[in-house]
Amino acid sequence: MKFSNGKASDIQIAYIGGGSMYWAKNLIADLALDEELSGKVRLYDLDYGKAKKNEKLGNSVSDYAEAKSKWMYEAYETLADALTGSDFVFISILPGTFAEMHSDVHEPEKYGIYQPVGDTTGPGGLVRALRTIPMYVEFAQAIEKYAPDAWVFNYTNPMTLCTRTLYEVFPKIKAFGCCHEIFGTQGLLIRMLRDLEGIEELHRDDIRVNVLGINHFTWIDQATYKNVDLFPLYRQFVDKYYEEGFEHNKDAWKTNTYTAANRVKFDLFRRYGLIAAAGDRHLAEFVPPWYTKDPETVRAWKFGLTTVPSRVDKHKATEEQYNKLIGGQEKLVLKASGEEEVRQLKGLIGLQPFVTNVNLPNVGQMQGVPLRAVVETNAAFSGNSLRPVHAGELPVEVNSLVMRHVLNQETILKAALKRDKALAFSAFVNDPLVTIDIGPAEELFETMLGNTKAYLKGWEL
């Protein structure tokens, strides 16, 4: 890496999962739009051909008139070659195929267990973790060997366990997990100020929040705008929209299962007095089936169950558009994705220190949770440094909900590393969504493990 006139050049980024049709486009656009950074993105994917396609797309963007910087993209056939010499590592993969995802999400429905997402907790999230953790063991070992000083950005779910595995295998790794759910809640607070106070022209940075919790089950106990406490206003906002919900586009939840009317978020505020800071689809999976008892209950709370067939259809549509980009029939639109990887890069390089929420092992920044467990709080980015910001402690009634998942995640990690089916089942049956009797729970668990057995090497199934 080189520095000159407040700019950094020759930055080396290894991108694991570099054949993506989704996040890769965002990264290519975000990097091209920043004039202070330039360098090389080293693409690695199990499907080398897909990485070659992103090599072509990324390099073509450098010729765009609107591109503010030049980045070179190159596909590598081995992880070792991609990592060697890298300053930063991005990991964004799909652990498994749509077939395994279908089992994660829809097999539990046969037993009356509904999951709006199924990638973080619940039966689906836990089984997904069992097949993802071995992949992250390999990543951590490779990073330790070929890029031990690199900063590692993780974007894969289950976020907490992916990040936790990296540190378990390579304790000195410099890794953190990135999630945009908090940004959505800051956006909701901006819309609240617009709706109740008529305040326009707000940016997310104007809303200061203190974040506590674990990924997708995060909470805000302080929120301010120009040093004014937003909680009294949020209480009015919740009271005003509790029944009908509040969306950016009214009733979008009816046709788009990736959206919600925030009624779950509002209900949790009434129950606990804190702002639940993830999307309703995620939040609903961390508590007993208050909001997910059946499809009718889900509709009453105004969010959707995102089916895997709908994801497959979305994937096909994305692939068609992506192929047009690769073929040159269409041009990649350069617009900011809303992710923070560029600001985080600039923070770690020392160009733009700032504070944002990330997932890191607990070293005391969050009280009431075991040390080493991965938690999501604010952290300060500065030159080659990432320091967690002291977040405090959740109220006992909220922390008890969070701790159930923290301990379950630790159990799943241990089970995956030891290939211990009995231990994995103990976490599975302890999940708050698994309210069925022990016999059916064992049957469901065996079926789901069988459906993902191709990724469970060395297990006695």
Question: Which residues are known to be catalytic?
Answer: 180
The DSSP element (H or E) to which 459 belongs, if any, is none
Closest CA to 74 of 59, 92, 64, 87: 59
Q: How many residues does the chain have?
A: 461
Query: 342 to each of 36, 71, 153, 349, 354, how far by Cα in Å?
Result: 10, 13, 11, 10, 12
Q: Strands of 5-139 (E only): list them.
A: 7-16, 37-44, 71-76, 88-91
Contact by Cβ (8 Å): 95, 127: no
Token pair for 224: 């301010």
Coil, strand or helix: which one is 83?
Answer: helix
Q: Label the pairing between strands 374-382 and 354-361.
A: antiparallel
Contact by Cβ (8 Å): 353, 390: no
Residue type, 276: A
Contact by Cβ (8 Å): 130, 452: yes
Count of other CB atoms within 10 angstroms of residue 180: 14
Residue type, 394: L
Residue type, 136: Y
Coil, strand or helix: which one is 228?
Answer: strand
What DSSP string describes 238-269? HHHHTTT---SSTTGGGT-TT-B-SHHHHHHH
Burial 84-118 (b: 16+ CB within 10 A, else e): bebbbbbbbbbbbeeebbbbbbbbbeebebbbbbb
